Amino acid sequence: MKKIVFFFIGLFVLLAVVSLALTLVGKRIPLGEKIALIKVEGIILSSKETVKELKKYREDPSIKAIVLSVDSPGGSVVPSQEIYEEVKKTSATKKVVVSMGAVAASGGYYISAPATKIMANAATVTGSIGAYMETVNISALMDKIGITREVVKSAKYKDMGSLYHGLGPDERAMFQGLLNDIHSQFVEAVASGRKMPLEKAEALADGRIFTGRQALRAGLVDKIGTLQDAIKETATLVGIKGQPNVVTKKDDFSVTELFSNKLVSDLFVKVFPLYKFNYLMTN
């Protein structure tokens, strides 16, 4: 009886050691022909998870290339720029192929621009290159219900953009200057990522949207195809023969992701716009 118990204990220890060894080896030695799939869905309000995934797969020698599946109307400026920078950094060392879903516009296009190759469906809605800002003015409502706002401030423009008063000419000019600079950064990113003349990128950056087919003609995407087509294209680019092993992050539920994407984030932006710069397709 004791021999049987010791046998199973020994077997368990052996399996644990082998499992640990394989895990450690797998992190250092390329095993298999893997392509990573990263999904960016919904409004872009946070870059944390996407940047984390890009960095992880970029540094993993077993990952041959990355497919970035984008189904987003855009979002806030800074998170979009952070993802853009990480895609740009990654595509310098590994092939990154973007697969556009139903919509990949504004910030959704911004993060796609530096990829090795961009593929879209024929009816994908993309483009919307530009930035906007909006604020709410509830001063008339406050007057109607008899509420007076008292403000103490250290500088003339400290409360500019407040929802309790409208924009004066000088405030509007300041915000326009900020938006113009943010817009020019977007245009430069498109020109650099797509390797097109700045003048051509500027001509396309008037906020208009394109179908995937129109975007192909304009030079904003490289090819028409589905997500599966993008995976096959990526495999071909890195010399993988046959069906590649596609790895992706598990879609675990988290409160952060709930508010970063999907329906709730959509609702939040619509109901509480305040003032905030966006690469977001408006409707």
Cβ atoms of 61 and 30 within 8 Å: the answer is yes
How many C-beta atoms surround the C-beta of residue 241 within 10 A? 8
Q: Is 158 a catalytic residue?
A: yes
The active-site residue, picked from 46, 72, 76, 106, is: 106
Using CA atoms, how far apart are residues 79 and 108, in angstroms rounded to an integer? Answer: 11
In sequence order, the 6+-apart residues with CB closer than 8 A to the CB of 214 are none
Distance CA 258, CA 266 (A): 11
Cα(168)–Cα(191) distance, integer angstroms: 34
Q: Which of 144, 168, 141 is closest to 159 using CA atoms?
A: 168
Is 106 labeled as catalytic in the residue annotation? Answer: yes
Task: Specify which residues 41 forms β-bridges with.
Answer: 71
Q: Which of 27, 55, 153, 158 is catalytic?
A: 158
| Catalytic positions, written as ranges | 106, 158
